[in-house]
Structure 1
Amino acid sequence: MKQQLQLEFADVKRIAAAAEAHAQSKGWAVTIAIVDAGGHLLSLQRLDGASPSSALFAPAKAHTAALGRRESKVYEDMINGGRQSFLSVPGMHGLLEGGVPILVDGQCVGAVGVSGVKSSEDAEIAKAGIAAL
């Protein structure tokens, strides 16, 4: 049997705090979602001024990154490159940049999804949160 690492709630709080601090330092109103390796929501923060729709997009981006075990930008790039059929993949709804997997010792233990600013800035916030681990 293989042992699998899991995020603990203390890890989730540390990631969320670092991502929030990064977003606030830039003056960005975003929603930050953190999911486990199965894409299940562990934390959702909608910062003041963030669009209501960002509360839907951020968890979707995180879910996609966790299940795919790679950044959601990979899927956006595939679709933009002409692979339109990827839009029909079941369960994958956050096919935009801003979802980043949390990798520990080569294992995906979850993901962070951010929505509310430019997609590259969303990803920047997610990576800042993950760096707190």
Structure 2
Amino acid sequence: MAGPVPRRRVLVIEDEDSIATALHHLLTREGYDHDRLASGAGAVARIRTSRPDLVLLDVMLPGASGYEICQHVRRDPALAGVKILMMTAGGAAAERGGGLAHGADGFILKPFALQDLRAEVRRLLTPAPPPG
């Protein structure tokens, strides 16, 4: 008989307290274990040590940009299973293209509707069905 399903871990890297608070409430309601960094400084090291299933990553951060963090994570084969959802209040097309080009698994514009974010988080954390 299979044991309990482990809770999914999410790391929020967001410098705006109001957005981080909204994300905290959403992730708590959804049953995810989560933690937050308010700066890009040390983010890659934290991802390496905590091995989250998903990183909610702001593009504009003090210390290091979300793009830089995303690039570093994608260059590390040990972190290949970490999903990255980038968030930004910047220009839609250019920012989205930049995030996806740097290896993000998804992109959401701020301000976002919580139901849209919830759907993206679920999409990224739902395992793909086995082939065949």
Same fold flag (TM > 0.5): no
TM-score normalised per structure 1:
0.33
TM-score normalised per structure 2:
0.34
The one of the two structures with greater contact order (alpha-carbon pairs below 8 A, sep at least 6) is 1
